[in-house]
Structure formats: C-alpha cells, structure tokens
C-alpha cells in the first residue's frame, strides 16, 4: 500500500500533463503519481510517462469510469485527486494530505470558489452553475461544503474503498460530496487558488449538457438519500391539489346537496390516495435507509481493520 497516491484522470491533456506530474512530484516527493489515460488521441500518455508517472489505461469513456478504475486498482493511505489541465496548484497538496493522514479527514475539498475562481474562469454560466449547485447541496443536505464540483480533492482509504461510483461523467464530484455528507464522514475545506486553462488547452465540459446531468444527479440522490423529505414534499403537494379541487365541490354539495362535478371528486380521491401512498413510501424508504447506514458503519470498521493491517 502506498502512503500517498496522486491520481490524475486525463483525456487529451498533452499541453499540461507533463507540468502537472512534475509539480506533483515536487510537492509530494514520496507519492506515487498515477495518470489514467482515457482514450486520448494526443501524446498525453507518452508525456506523462516521460515525466515519471505510472500510466494506466481506462477504455470506457467518462471521468466517472476513470475514477472507478483508479479507486479499484490503487491502494494508499491518502489519495490526492487532481485534474490534468494545470488549473489547480499542487502547492496545497501537502496541507490536504496532512489533513487526511494526521487529522483523520475522509475528504478534503480544494475550495476554488472562495478565492480566484470567479475572476479566472471566463465562462459566466459555469460560475452561476457552481454557485447554484453549492447552494442546492448545502440546503438539501444541511452541509457546509464550499465547492461541490472541484476536481481537486484528497481522500482517505476508507472513503475510496466504500464509495460506490455510479456516475459516468463529470457529475461524479457531486456524487462524492453527497456520499461524504450523508454518511457523516469528516469533510474539510482548503482554500486554493484557481487559474484558468493555459492558451491552447480546451475544456471537456459542456455547460448545458453537463450542467443538466449534475442537476439530474442532485435530484436523484436527494430522492435516494433523503426519501422521507422527498416523498413527504410530494405527498404534501398532492394533498394540497386534492384539497384545492375538493373545496368548490364540497361547498356546492353543502349548499345544494348535489355533486354536479363528479369526475373532479373522483380525481380528488385519487390524488388523496396518492398523497397517502407517497407518505408511506417515504417512511418505508427512510427506515431502509437507516438500516443501510448501520450496514455502512460495519463496512467502515472492516475497512479500518484492513488499513491497520
């Protein structure tokens, strides 16, 4: 098992990967640098190996697929994950690693949004999207994560070996954050400086499609991780609709003794039943979630023993 492993997922980063690997070796001389090449069509793999990195291949396209492979294959006490585009300074890597190794942190978030991100990033929709996602996650999960979508993080062994990678693309960072918050893992924030990509280096992000996928991931994980809140809100909405349409029918019945809008009454009944079903679905899923949390704690104990051995 390595003490520190630096994990760099890459797709067509020949302009920057050599510098990122050398910066990582300078910041963490004892670390093993792993570059996972994701079907690059340029010299990314060649230049990474030349700079001294261990180069491996992941043939399923997508950042989530690369991270799944890295987490399965690499064993280390501390993992530093950083993008290969040279937008994150490796000078903060030592502080992040120390939080994992000495302060028992499970995930350290490299916080761009509290420093230079909004000045350096030239894409206004990305700026707005990052702020929206941060506000949504912190409100829904009652957390205080300052940068949800940063690609610069440090992880403990137990986080990596208990994190189920379900996403295939860039929404993986959101999934990591929610997993840590939901399972009551120790999360720390380290403010980092952010610099935009150097000239000639192109981002692989699509503002609209990737943004939609991130929002879809938040919606899906809110439903999965907080089912009582999700289905409780749905139940309340259905109940309000049922009552809203029933009031005029009920008033007319009291005044005339007749129900001329019988289809509306039937619809109200079905909406009320759906509200009741949603409420009980939320309760059942919540109890299943509590059981899953207990099972997860037992899995953490097993992983902790593996680390000590």
Smallest CA-to-CA distance from 87 within 134, 19, 39, 34 is with 19
Q: Which two tokens stand for residue 119?
A: 């000045």
Domain 2-224: give its CATH code. Answer: 3.90.550.10
pTM of the model: 0.81
pLDDT in tens for each of the 309 residues of the chain? 789 999 999 999 999 999 999 999 999 999 999 999 999 999 999 999 999 999 999 999 999 999 999 999 999 999 999 999 999 999 999 999 999 999 999 999 999 888 877 776 666 666 677 788 888 888 888 888 888 889 999 999 999 999 999 888 778 888 899 899 988 899 999 999 888 766 665 665 565 676 677 778 788 878 888 899 999 999 999 999 999 999 988 888 888 888 888 888 899 999 999 999 999 999 999 999 888 888 888 777 778 766 666
Smallest CA-to-CA distance from 165 within 81, 99, 88, 103 is with 81
Smallest CA-to-CA distance from 299 within 161, 100, 180 is with 161
Taken in order 46, 47, 51, 53, the sign of the CA dihedral is negative
Query: How do the domains of the chain map onto residue ranges?
Result: 2-224, 227-308
Q: Look-up: residue for tokens 């420093």?
A: 115
């Amino acid at each position: 098992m390595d003490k520190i492993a630096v994990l760099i997922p890459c797709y067509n980063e020949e302009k920057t990967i050599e510098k990122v690997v050398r910066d990582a070796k300078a910041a963490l001389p004892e670390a093993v640098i792993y570059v996972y090449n994701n079907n690059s069509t340029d010299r990314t793999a060649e230049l990474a190996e030349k700079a001294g990195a261990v180069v491996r291949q992941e043939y399923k396209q997508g950042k989530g697929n690369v991270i799944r492979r890295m987490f399965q294959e690499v064993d280390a006490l501390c993992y530093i994950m950083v993008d290969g585009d040279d937008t994150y300074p490796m000078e903060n890597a030592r502080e992040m690693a120390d939080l994992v190794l000495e302060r028992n942190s499970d995930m350290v978030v490299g916080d761009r949004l509290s420093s230079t991100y909004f000045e350096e990033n030239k894409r206004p929709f990305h700026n707005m999207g990052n702020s929206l996602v941060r506000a949504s996650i912190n409100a829904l999960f009652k957390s205080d994560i300052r940068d949800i979508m940063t690609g610069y993080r440090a992880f403990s062994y137990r986080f990596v070996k208990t994190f189920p990678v379900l996403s295939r693309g860039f929404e993986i960072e959101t999934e990591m954050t929610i997993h840590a918050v939901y399972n009551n893992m120790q999360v720390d924030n380290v403010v980092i400086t952010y610099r935009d990509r150097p000239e000639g280096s192109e981002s692989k992000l699509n503002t609209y499609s990737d943004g939609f996928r991130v929002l879809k991931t938040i919606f899906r994980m809110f439903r999965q991780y907080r089912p009582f809140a999700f289905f409780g809100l749905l139940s309340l909405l259905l109940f309000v609709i049922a009552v809203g349409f029933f009031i005029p029918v009920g008033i007319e019945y009291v005044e005339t003794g007749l129900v001329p809008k019988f289809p509306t009454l039937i619809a109200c009944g079905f909406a009320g039943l759906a509200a009741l079903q949603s409420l009980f679905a939320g309760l059942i899923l919540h109890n299943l979630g509590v059981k899953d949390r207990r099972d997860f704690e037992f899995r953490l104990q097993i992983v902790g023993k593996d680390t000590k051995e």
